Amino acid sequence: MMQRKLKRPEVLAPAGTLEKLKVAIDYGADAVYIGGDAYGLRTRAGNFSFDQMREGVQYAHARHAKVYVAANIVAHEQDLPGADTFFKNVQATGVDAVIVSDPSLIETCVLAAPGLPIHLSTQASSCNYETLNFWQDEGLERVVLAREVGIDEIREMRQHTDIQIEAFIHGAMCIGYSGRCVLSNHMGLRDANRGGCAQNCRWKYDLFDMPQLGEKHELTGVNPDGKKEAFSMSAVDMAMIEHIPDLIEAGVDSLKIEGRMKTVHYVSTVANVYSAAVDAYMADPDHYQTDPAWVDELWKVAQRGMSTGFYYNTPTEQDELFGEERKRPRYAFVGEVQAYDPATETVTIQQRNNFGVGDQIEFYGPGFTHYAMTVEDLFDEDGAAIERAPHAMQIVTLHCPHAVAPGDFVRGLKVRRHAHVRA
> Domains of the chain: which residue ranges?
10-173+235-319, 183-229, 331-413
d(CA 257, CA 293): 19
Res 370 pLDDT > 50:
yes
State which CATH number among 3.20.20.380, 3.40.720.10, 1.10.3720.10, 3.40.50.620 fits the domain covering 10-173+235-319.
3.20.20.380
Name the nearest CA neighbour of 255 among 32, 23, 39, 56: 32
Confidence of residue 224 (pLDDT cuts 50, 70, 90): low
59 Cβ contact partners less than 8 Å away, ≥ 6 residues apart:
21, 22, 25
Give the pLDDT band of residue 3 (cuts 50, 70, 90). Answer: very low
Pick the CATH number of 331-413 from 2.40.30.10, 2.60.40.1080, 3.60.15.10, 3.30.70.60: 2.40.30.10
Taking the C-alpha atoms of residue 404 and residue 53, their distance in angstroms, rounded to an integer, is 30
Print burial letters for 74-111: b (CB count within 10 Å at least 16), e (below 16). Answer: bbeeebeeebeebbebbbebebbbbbbbbeebbebbbe
Question: If you average pLDDT over residues 410-414, what whole number do you get?
Answer: 89
pLDDT of 364 over the 80 cut: yes
Chain segment 20-53, per-residue pLDDT in tens: 999 999 999 999 999 998 887 655 556 899 999 9
From 71-75, 108-112, 132-136, 201-205, the region with the lowest mean pLDDT: 201-205
